Structure formats: structure tokens, C-alpha cells
Amino acid sequence: MSEGYRPDPYDARPRGDDRPEHYANIPLYLLLTIVTFFVFNLYWNYKQMQACNDLLDRDDFSFLNWIVFTLLTCGIYHFFYQYKMGAAINEIQERLDLPVTEGLPVLSVVASILGFGMVADCIHQHEINRIVTR
């Protein structure tokens, strides 16, 4: 007797979902961030760090370092991280001959300083989605 299709319980993607590995549903991630009082945003930043490390083929980002230095500097390190993430995304775009989002590093820092860090995360994810779905 054939059992038919049995989904893998550890596969987070629905059946037939062929989105690339680093693609994220921005509205869903935004909602989860708000509903969890920004706890989910830690995971989202971790996933963005992984994506950039994989796409750059080097380890520029460390989640543990980001958390520790952000806490030790009372949040100032996060502004540096936002700049670095924007610059990394621009480098990936250049490597792949994709249109470069001019001013992304500065925009990321300004958004974070003004209290709109989640907007910077959405912009970063949008650019990562564009890169992985090219």
C-alpha cells in the first residue's frame, strides 16, 4: 500500500515552494516582529547575516558579535552594523552586475538613528530578495 506524499516536518517551506534559500516574506516577518515585540527581529537579522555571508562567500557578519557589541555600546554598534549590511548588499549587487541601490548604507544608518531600524531591515530584505530571485 502506497502511503503517498508525507511532508517533512522539519521543512519550513510549504509543498511546491521553490523560493530561493535566503528569500523572506517581508510582510510576514514584519508582522511576526511586531507581534513578538521585536524578538523575531533578532532571528530576522540573523537570517540576513547568514544570507550576506553566503552571498559574499565569507564571514563578515557574526550574530554573537552583533548582540554582544550592541549591548556593550548601548546600541551604537548597531548603527555600524546597519552601514556594513547596506555596504555588503551593494557589494553583492556589484559582483552580480545588478543595479546597485545607491546610498543604501547611509539610508540604513539614518533610518536606524531616527528609530526606523525595522524599515532598514525591510529594505535590506527587499534587496536580498531581489538578489536571490534574479
Q: Return the pLDDT at 4.
A: 60
Q: Return the pLDDT at 19.
A: 79
Q: Return the pLDDT at 10.
A: 43
Span 4-23, pLDDT tens digits = 655 544 444 545 567 799 99
Cell of 7: 511532508
- The model's pTM: 0.86
Q: Are 120 and 106 in contact (CB under 8 A)?
A: no
Helix axes 39-56, 76-95, angle to 10 degrees: 40
Span 74-109, pLDDT tens digits = 999 999 999 999 999 999 999 999 999 999 999 999
Q: Are 26 and 51 in contact (CB under 8 A)?
A: no
Cα→Cα distances 115→3, 30, 53, 102, 111, Å = 52, 15, 26, 21, 6
pLDDT at 58 over 70: yes
Q: Return the pLDDT at 18.
A: 74
Burial of 114 per CB tally in 10 Å (0-12, 13-18, 19+): exposed
Mean pLDDT taken over the chain:
91
Tell me which residue of 69, 91, 90 sits closest to 81, measured CA to CA.
69
- AA identity, residue 22: H
Mean pLDDT value across residues 55-81:
98
